[in-house]
């Protein structure tokens, strides 16, 4: 899953760079409005690429999933305010 997300991210960012370079070097010679439109599209792609790259897969461990170590999980729960600390 990670490799697929990484490949999709690099494809989207590569498309962004190609659009920007073509708009600034080739298309602007024929049509400035089209070049500006291409730059706007290139500007919108990176946030979506970041969302694709950081999406949680079904097999990925998430930051708040239990780790399996009861002592560590209890410590993190106490820090997060999920459980009250026991009497000392």
Domain parsing of the chain, residue ranges: 2-59
DSSP output for 8-40:
HHHHHHHHHHHHHHHHHHTGGGT-HHHHHHHHH
- Residue 22 to residues 35, 39, 60, 85: CA-CA distances in angstroms? 8, 9, 37, 60
- pLDDT by 10s per residue, the chain, length 88: 678 888 999 999 999 999 999 999 999 999 999 999 999 999 999 999 999 888 877 666 566 666 778 887 787 778 777 765 566 5
pLDDT at 1: 62
- Predicted TM-score (pTM) of the model is 0.63
pLDDT at 64: 65
pLDDT at 44: 95
pLDDT at 58: 66
């Amino acid at each position: 899953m990670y490799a697929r997300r990484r490949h999709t991210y690099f494809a989207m960012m590569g498309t962004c760079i190609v659009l920007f370079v073509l708009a600034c070097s080739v298309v602007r010679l024929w049509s400035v409005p089209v070049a500006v439109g291409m730059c706007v599209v290139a500007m919108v792609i990176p946030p979506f690429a970041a969302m694709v790259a950081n999406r949680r897969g079904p097999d990925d461990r998430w930051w708040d999933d239990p780790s399996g170590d009861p002592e560590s999980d209890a410590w993190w729960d106490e820090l997060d305010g999920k459980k009250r600390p026991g009497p000392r």
